[in-house]
A and B are shown apart, each in its own frame.
Chain A
Amino acid sequence: MPDILLQGLTKTYGKGAAPAVDGVSLTVPHGEFLCLLGPSGCGKTTILRMIAGIEHATGGTILMDGEAVDSVDQARFVPPERRRVGLVFQNYALWPHMTVARNVDFGLRLQNVSPAEREARCRDVMTKLKIADYAERYPAQLSGGQQQRVALARMLAINPDVLLLDEPLSNLDAALRLEMRAELRRIHETFGTTIIFVSHDQWEAMTLASTIAVMDRGRLQQVGSPDEIYARPANRFVAEFIGNPRINMVNLADTPARAGESVAAHLAARLPQAAGASVCGIRPEEIRLVPEVSGDALCVTVAGIMPTGGSWVIELAHGADRLFFSTQSRPKVKPGERIGCLLPDEALHLFDAEGRRLAIPGYGLCEAA
């Protein structure tokens, strides 16, 4: 039985405003580790708040364990205090007048847990999150990262069925972030809690989530495993949003007369069967460099080499067009050098004029690197 079901979920703040969340439909099975990924302002926080119940939908339905907790059509609304979800706020929202320990055991007190058990559970959670030393401090006396962990501990203590995390790791340093990531994964595995977390850090999403939902301007763009999202982006937005360095996008529509003068013309000549394609994308690491210009290789000049710590990004110029190529091995080319570059058919992602992915046999079949 699915745990959380969103059906056409919509939220509009105030009349006439563009919807912050626009017809999002999504199934989150029990025990899922889902990441909502998208640029700033795309409605991620709003979705979390609606699932928690502190915001109500203006359209659509939210079902939890088959029960409608928020349904515009059925006029149902279950308030947050009865939903058994935990929400960690983007800016923590710790209670400033309570110590860390009191913040953490607040929820348990409400559940009438015996003092001994309460004490034990709080200890346990605080130890796991490495905040036991600060138990008697007030939130104002903690660093941002410590506050974030208190916010997490506060929700973990009540052992919710669903844990909603709004950018839970954004304020931690790199080392602590790795550690907390492992901790989150462990919590997920041990308790089997459904976790929905929000991020605009794609790397974090890729490494942590079992499923990623990519959003843009309130709409769901694609839902799938990290591999799927990377290797088969459903549209142009996803292709451009995921991947670092960014995917190379070539606009096929403006093809000049003579081939060989632009990348678009080079590709257009090779893609006779894909008449509907208007944009073609190729990821930087899928490009292959060849020493000399042979039959279907593109003739390019090395315009620049940027080391990015263990890998390199090389800027290739072809006429006025630029392509970025990335490699894990130290490049042997020099700036100004003329070489050939191959754009393999199976690495080409084709999109139509509306930006939708075109499924054409033979193209865009690459697995994630």
Chain B
Amino acid sequence: MVHALEPTARHPAPLQRLARMVAVMRHEPALAIGAVLTLAFAYLIVAPVVSILLQAVVVQPGDSARLHQGEGAFTLYYLARAFASRMSGILLWGPLVHTLTIAAGTVALSVSLGVVLAWLVNRTDLVGRGWFATALVVPFMLPTWTFALAWTTIFKNGVVGGQPGWLQAMGFATPNWLAYGTLPIIVILVLHYTPLVVLIVGNALHRLDVQMEECARILGAGPRMIAFSIVLPLVRPALLSAALLIFADCIGEFAVPYILGLPVNYDTLSTGLYRALSSRQTGVAAVLAGAIMIMGVVTLMIDLRMMREARRFVTVGGKGGLQRRQSLGRLRHLAALLPAAVVLIGVALPLLTLFLSTVMILPGRFTPDNFTLDFWIGSNLHTVALRNGILLTPEFWAAAWNTVRIVGIAAAISGTLGLLVGYAVLRSPVRLIGQVLRQITFLPYLVPGIAFAAAFLSLFAVSRGPIPALYGTPFILILALVAENMPFASRSGIAAMTQLGREPEEAARVAGAGFLTRMRRIVIPIQAGPLATAILLPFISGIKGVSLFVILAVPATDVLTTYSLRLLDYNYDQAANAVVLMIALIAWLGTVLIQRICGTGLARGLES
């Protein structure tokens, strides 16, 4: 027999509510995971950021005599010095103008170029579309400083010592504006970031429901009308997001201005920061780091705001269907010159230049007797050090092994943590933990690598409490890399867990599976693809990375990037370029692997 009872409405006492909460939460591992992760990231991310910001306003070691204040006392000296002193032009304003010029120039040029290329590749019957779609992405996979080194190989002039550039060696004096500074930096960054625009905008074009265009066509709109009143507005969110991403990246860019600016005292904020750090002006360095962070925050706010507006266009995620392509007629061959030129200048030329430079004894002399494979595989060379070709040098292999080990471990950790963050954010019954985690893990995105490295150095160089001094060990590099990777890793983890939904896991719970079984048998296998991407992408960017290593690596923890920079410092240009080529090779192989594993996942991963 069944009968309805009277409802019993009651309000439990606070203590009872607490007991109840404990009873329920005990079975929600997401909460514990979230709490542990929050604590860990508070230490790994928030503490360094706070510490570096604090350094801007307290007296730094070594400055107390000059400032007549005790170490650690509050001071506005560094702010005043950076913003309003005789030095501020050199310290802050000059670099700031350079940084903004570079970032704005890069964004403007790469977006214009990228949109045209994306349209050509995705929406027209251009010759060799499929091939270009792949080839155009390659420059983004190469480290930016590959281009920078190729540039110096060709254009370097007599202003700085060492081997001259090819043009100089052949008797053309290259002017400074061509060899160093704004122009080459912008050209290189445009080459590097245009593929990103092609990827993101291409992806948006791809998802655009053709029916919307067809509908407009039926109503009598011409191609131009459709492009400007339908396609462009709908693709605009993707476009803006790509532009802001590039802007933020350019502000933090270190390696290119390091190679192309530092020799002629051309500073951006990040190289200025590096210079301040290496001349032990930690206070000023902190001010510069703060300036970069503020710019990052502002960019991000704009991005968030635009994203919110973009939500109104949710229809963009249409099914696609048959893509109509614009016929270019006879122009379809001619138009292919543009992407061909980009591939030539962005991939073929730099790689070929670098490769040639590694097989030539003297730069710029194209005679048979000047070519040799000694720098790769020679032995008993007549040099002061490095008497073997790079492939026969134990230091090279040690550095390569170090790189793969350190970056690989860091990437695996951050990928896994990213998935756990996704789990905690979406499953935690306490909403606050999810929100805090989301924000914390995104914080490193606002902090340029070089500033972050500086913060890590100041925080972990000495032993604090239970944590021993980590400087000089691989651990500090791994921790810094993990923290630096968290924005991407957590974003992709959250996206993956959102897509999974909670029901597959709930079904497993009902079937009797405990937390570990659920993770092992349900969540991780379903997320294998996203997890692989979340590990491989940070791996590639870690291999290419410079700024963290430049500050945190010591000879014992040499990685390929620092190894090649050191070779460069000692004027072993050929060997340095050979190492760079090997880095590019590893990065490219990793990218191919990702494309294999998850198809178009790359574009989606970069967008999130």
Contacts and interface: CB of A to CB of B under 8 A. Distances in A.
- Decide whether A and B are members of one complex: yes
B12 A95 contact: no
B22 interface: yes
A93 B4 contact: no
Interface string A192-232: 00000000000000000001010000001011100000000
Interface string B489-526: 00000000000010110111111111001000110011
Interface in A44-95: 52-54, 56, 59-60, 72-73, 75-77, 79-87, 89, 91, 93-95
A330 interface: no
Contact of B5 (A26, A89, A93, A106): A26
Contacts of A154: 507, 511
B26 interface: yes
A99 interface: no
A158 B512 contact: yes
Interface string A152-169: 001100100000000000
A107 interface: yes
Nearest to A8: B8
B582 to A, nearest CB: 37
Nearest to B509: A80
A110 B520 CA distance: 13
Given A8-B9, A72-B20, A77-B24, A27 B3 contact: yes
Contacts of A82: 512
A52 B526 CA distance: 23
Given A25-B8, A222-B4, A86 B510 contact: yes
Interface string B460-502: 0000000000000000000000000000000000000000010
B322 interface: no
Given A96-B504, A96-B526, A29 B10 contact: no
A150 B510 CA distance: 15
Contacts of B14: none
A54 B27 contact: no
A27 B5 contact: yes
B1 interface: yes
Given A95-B522, A110-B513, A23 B8 contact: yes
B509 A224 contact: no
Contacts of A94: 504, 507
Nearest to B526: A97
Contacts of B522: 95
A190 interface: no
Interface string A107-141: 10011000000000000000000000000000000
A240 B193 CA distance: 64
A223 B512 contact: no
B314 interface: no
A294 B12 CA distance: 63
A323 interface: no
Contact of A7 (B5, B24, B508, B521): B5
Nearest to A91: B503
Q: For chain A, give the interface size range.
A: 35 or more
Interface in B509-545: 509-514, 517, 521-522, 525-526, 528
Contacts of A32: 2
A24 B9 CA distance: 10
B510 A110 contact: no
Interface string B8-47: 1110100010011011101100000000000000000000
Nearest to A76: B23
A34 interface: yes
Interface string A14-38: 0000000011111111001010000
Contacts of B517: 110
Given A93-B504, A95-B526, A224-B2, A75 B20 contact: yes
Contacts of A76: 23
Contact of A72 (B1, B12, B510, B525): B12
Contacts of B507: 87, 89, 93-95, 151, 154
A155 B511 contact: yes
B513 to A, nearest CB: 6
A223 B514 contact: no
B309 interface: no
B7 interface: yes
Given A81-B509, A81-B513, A23 B16 contact: no
A213 B4 CA distance: 9
The 7 closest A-B pairs by CB, nearest first: A23-B7, A25-B5, A93-B503, A75-B19, A8-B8, A107-B511, A79-B27
Interface of B: 1-10, 12, 16, 19-20, 22-24, 26-27, 501, 503-504, 506-514, 517, 521-522, 525-526, 528
15 contacts: A25-B4, A25-B6, A25-B7, A52-B510, A53-B509, A54-B506, A73-B16, A79-B509, A80-B509, A82-B512, A85-B510, A86-B511, A106-B521, A110-B512, A158-B511
Given A83-B510, A94-B507, A106-B508, 14 more contacts: A8-B8, A27-B1, A29-B1, A59-B9, A73-B16, A75-B22, A77-B27, A81-B510, A84-B512, A86-B510, A106-B513, A154-B511, A213-B2, A220-B4
Interface of A: 7-8, 10, 22-29, 32, 34, 52-54, 56, 59-60, 72-73, 75-77, 79-87, 89, 91, 93-97, 106-107, 110-111, 151, 154-155, 158, 211, 213, 220, 222-224
